[in-house]
A and B are shown apart, each in its own frame.
Chain A
Amino acid sequence: MSKARKSVLCWVALSPFLIIVLFPYLTMLSTALKQKDEIFTFHRSWLPREFYLGNFVELFVDRNFGRALVNSLTISVGATLLSLAVAIPAAYALTRMRVPGNSALTNYLLITQMISPIVLIIGLFRMFAYFGLINSLMSVIIAHSAFFMAFAVWMLRSYFATIPKDLEEAAWIDGAGRFSAFVRIFLPLCLPGVVVTAIFTFVNSWNEYAMSLTLLRDVSQQTAPVQIAFLTGTLYQIEWHLIMAATLIASVPVAIVFASIQRYLIGGMSLGGVK
């Protein structure tokens, strides 16, 4: 079979999935570009009457959506950095050092993931209230990184375990101290794993709703998902044109992030350092 025919066949086979995946995005795009009165017409059309950007203007100017995006970004980046700062050393210790109760600890990490954050929300609220952190972005950064850290440790641990110990040992013999071998040899090699973990943490934090809703009471502190949710229920009507514009914008960072790590997700790095 020729290469061209093969790829046409692949595309045909994949097209149902493609349609399912793209459908929500097209709806989102189409609705976001329509005017308010155009949405609930009897004769539905995919194409808007005119290329209308007013929804976005209204979103950013009247509803202060930009503020929510900045909040979300601050929280997601903060939570990602904080959870990596703790998870990398933890995962390193779990794979490379003799830790008493290693396997029990690892299983415990997995168990914490079985509890939905909503169950803990009252406890979390009271705890942060006690520390006076309600309405501070810091509280959500801490809560998010605590909650997503278990997953990060779990994921990094399995990635770290694939890196041959020989490489660090060789570095020690070459004269590197433990920390220097970690930074010069180990970290560069596990970078793909760290990047993938960082992305997952970022996306999880970006999309998280319940904790952000509870811990941030002030409108100026709201995150993007929370503000989008408010668009559906605060008024007597549901403002679909705004909601779709907002979700479109909110999904952009996630899409960019996933597109940028594709290479790591697909390829993995072939090492070739040990036989």
Chain B
Amino acid sequence: MASIDLVGVSKQFGALSILDDVNISIGDREFVVLVGPSGCGKSTLLRMIAGLEPISDGTISIDGAIVNHLGPQKRDLAMVFQTYALYPHMTTAQNIGFPLKLRGSSPEQIERSVARVASTLHLEALLDRQPRALSGGQRQRVAMGRAMVREPRAFLFDEPLSNLDAKLRHHMRIELRQLHKSLGATSIYVTHDQIEAMTMADRIVVMNRGKVEQIGTPLELFDRPANTFVAGFLGSPTINFAKARLSAGSKDVTFEDGIYPLALNGASDIAAQDVIAGVRPQHIEIVATDVAPLKGTVVLVEHTGCETNVILDVGNSEWTVQTLSRHRLNQGEQVGLKFDPAHLHLFSASSQERILW
């Protein structure tokens, strides 16, 4: 098991900059999830760690030793590809045993290890089949098996669950977490599914356009997003934003369109400025109009069964409120909105960075 450090890692394809000054330090036994929108460079970064993609600038080290020029064979990492990449001409058993065969293990030894892995992944009945005769979920488990059969210094996963149905995905998520617990293996896991990120990670790295936006535990990122991108990326439904003005000494926030000011007891050394205010849908309560600082007009009510999502016009923005109570609301009705100021996120309108108050 190992720690992995990325220092100032950059990647260019020709003139195109894909990754820019990425710094991530991953501790031994840590489970780190890389998230970000499609095309932000997650797979590229993972491939660079694996040694499949040359590094344009910066250093990658494993256990303190720089591996920039070490081939993928010598890094002793295991990777589960987005495409599974099973060897089509080999059976499940041969696929899983391949890394051991390369290391010159004896046939009995290979058979024992394959049997052990197959029983963890419930693949015993499929050992003699070729990949083409397996379902997507089964292929995915074989790909995991091939990674698990040896004890690599770290596991790299590239969206391994993206092709599974919701139920199997949930099952595999739990299975992966347990696997991580029992092996204690350093893992880097790429996904753009935020639920996967939130539930599986020790720490999450949020990336956007080749840059790291924020690194932290799932709850840190959820509760104190560093900028509007992170705030908007994590959480479902997405956080509500509105333009607002923060008064000097951060005493209160005034929303546009003459919406009521919100009294805060903030730090006194922050200058008055234009801000973007954010509140998560789960943190807003629908109340009577006369006791509420904020008002909105109902546009749509969605019942998902468990929660109810109310979509409202608040000033110039569209907000979503998520509640557990089944409000009887009509379109066009005015309602009051209330939230604890502790759940208000303020970001500078100019830099989009979080303002601490």
* Chain A contact residues, CB within 8 Å of chain B: 164, 166-167, 169-177, 180, 185, 188-189, 269-275
Contact = CB atoms under 8 A, between A and B. Distances in A.
A271 B89 CA distance: 8
B87 A273 contact: yes
Interface residues of B, number: 32
Contacts of B37: none
A173 B88 contact: no
Given A272-B130, A273-B86, A273-B131, A173 B79 contact: yes
B85 A167 contact: yes
Interface string B82-107: 01111111000000001100110000
Contacts of A167: 85, 87-88
30 contacts: A164-B83, A166-B81, A167-B88, A169-B50, A169-B72, A170-B81, A170-B86, A171-B87, A171-B98, A172-B72, A173-B50, A173-B52, A173-B73, A173-B77, A173-B78, A174-B78, A174-B99, A174-B102, A174-B146, A175-B73, A175-B76, A175-B99, A175-B102, A188-B89, A270-B132, A271-B88, A272-B86, A272-B134, A273-B84, A275-B139
A177 B50 CA distance: 14
A272 B81 contact: no
A166 B78 CA distance: 14
A174 B98 contact: yes
Interface of B: 50-52, 71-73, 75-79, 81, 83-89, 98-99, 102-103, 130-134, 136, 139, 146, 163
For the complex of A and B, 10 pairs with smallest distance between CB atoms: A272-B132, A273-B88, A170-B85, A166-B85, A274-B83, A174-B99, A172-B72, A271-B88, A175-B102, A273-B86
Contacts of A176: 73, 102
Most buried by B among A171, A172, A176, A273: A273
Contacts of B134: 272
A36 B83 CA distance: 67
Contacts of B98: 171, 174
B130 A166 contact: no
A274 B73 contact: no
A134 to B, nearest CB: 45
Nearest to B132: A272
B163 A275 contact: yes
B84 to A, nearest CB: 6
Contacts of B77: 173
Contacts of B50: 169, 173
A272 B88 contact: yes
Contacts of B102: 174-176, 180
A189 B89 contact: yes
A54 B316 CA distance: 101
A171 B131 CA distance: 16
Given A173-B50, A175-B99, A176-B102, A185 B87 contact: yes
Given A169-B72, A273-B131, A175 B103 contact: yes
Contacts of A174: 78, 98-99, 102, 146
B85 A273 contact: yes
Contact of A272 (B79, B131, B146): B131
Nearest to B71: A172
A167 B146 CA distance: 13
Given A172-B73, A174-B99, A175-B76, 17 more contacts: A167-B85, A169-B50, A169-B81, A172-B51, A172-B72, A173-B50, A175-B73, A185-B87, A188-B89, A189-B88, A269-B88, A272-B132, A273-B131, A274-B84, A274-B85, A275-B136, A275-B163
